[in-house]
């Protein structure tokens, strides 16, 4: 597993990029610090890594801009729960991400970068048409969250500065877990838009994904001790129909 050999807390983005650009130094970015990749470079391999803490670099504000809500990457998940500017479903899903000890440390930027396949919050961000602002030494860019989750290399060499989400539209969600308190085996989130219901599904791919009732039938979810591929696909279809029925739309 990895061992932390050095800790850095840059005061500016420029300092952070200088640390990232060092040749021959393995480093990893940390936001809230609740997740640090513990994998080595091979079976049983140990790797030293230097931590670059972004707490002093990225904003943690939540504000309304041009009809959207812009959430600074360093905003804690509990900040989302508490903010009346954040759409209600996202507030609920942020609360489900874990106990208050985790929510008061984990950040929205770290959650997006981590891309947990079972994160209901990421699914909620997808249906709220989230875009991700990424800072690089060569300049800034904006990508859709769905694009970033599909290809994590989009983030290579960059630092997430904020996430912007659309507001408005009725929402609904449905989930199935072993117990009500468990991380769901599969969850589906939906949002009514002028073009129909946007659906997102967790637990059926390597990250949460946008889907339709048609594409769900073709999914090949990874199986584990909680459910087979067929079972997860069946759950996704059943929960999607439940969400669409609640919203009274088509997807």
177 and 191 together in one domain = yes
For residue 43, pLDDT beyond 80: no
Total-model pTM: 0.90
Using CB atoms within 10 Å of the CB of residue 200, give its burial: 0 to 12 exposed, 13 to 18 middle, 19+ buried.
buried
10 and 85 together in one domain = no
Predicted local confidence at residue 27, as pLDDT: 83
146 and 71 together in one domain = yes
37 and 126 together in one domain = no
Give the separation between CA 226 and CA 17, rounded to whole angstroms.
41
The total of other beta-carbon atoms located within 10 Å of residue 190's CB is 30
153 and 178 together in one domain = no
Residue 42's pLDDT band, with cuts at 50, 70 and 90, is: very low
Report long-range pairs for 61-67 (Cβ below 8 Å, ≥24 apart).
Answer: 62/86, 65/164, 67/166, 67/167
> 70: domain CATH number?
3.30.465.10
pLDDT in tens, 210-246: 999 899 999 999 999 999 999 999 999 999 999 999 9
176 and 161 together in one domain = no
| Interior angle at CA 190, CA 87 and CA 153, nearest 5 | 85
66 and 150 together in one domain = yes
The total of other beta-carbon atoms located within 10 Å of residue 121's CB is 26
Predicted local confidence at residue 40, as pLDDT: 43
Copy the structure tokens of residue 73. 């990457």
pLDDT in tens, 104-120: 899 999 999 989 999 99
145 and 181 together in one domain = no
Which residue segment(s) compose the domain that 117 sits in? 62-166
Higher pLDDT, 57 or 200: 200
28 and 84 together in one domain = no
Looking at the structure of the chain, the number of domains it has is: 3
46 and 116 together in one domain = no
> 237: domain CATH number?
3.30.390.50
């Amino acid at each position: 597993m990895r061992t932390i050999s050095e800790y850095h807390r840059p005061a500016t983005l420029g300092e952070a990029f200088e640390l990232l650009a060092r040749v021959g130094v393995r480093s990893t970015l940390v936001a809230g610090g609740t997740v640090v990749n513990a994998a080595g470079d091979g079976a049983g391999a140990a790797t030293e890594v230097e931590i670059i803490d972004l707490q002093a670099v990225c904003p943690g504000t939540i504000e309304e801009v041009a009809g959207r809500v812009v959430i600074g990457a360093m905003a804690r998940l509990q900040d989302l729960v508490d903010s009346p500017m954040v759409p209600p479903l996202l507030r609920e899903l942020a609360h489900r991400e874990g106990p208050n000890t985790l929510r008061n440390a984990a950040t929205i930027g770290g959650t997006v970068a981590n891309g947990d396949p079972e994160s209901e919050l990421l699914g909620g961000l997808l249906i709220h048409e989230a875009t991700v602002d990424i800072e690089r030494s060569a300049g800034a860019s904006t990508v859709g969250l769905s694009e970033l989750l599909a290809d994590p290399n989009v983030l290579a060499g960059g630092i997430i500065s904020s996430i912007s989400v659309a507001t408005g539209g009725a929402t609904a969600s449905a989930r199935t877990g072993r117990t009500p308190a468990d991380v769901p085996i599969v969850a589906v989130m939906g949002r009514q838009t002028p073009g129909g219901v946007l659906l997102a599904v967790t637990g059926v791919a390597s990250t949460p994904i946008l889907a339709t009732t048609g594409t769900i039938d073709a999914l090949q979810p990874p199986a584990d001790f909680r459910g087979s591929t067929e079972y997860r696909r069946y759950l996704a279809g059943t929960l999607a129909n439940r969400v669409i029925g609640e919203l009274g739309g088509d997807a």
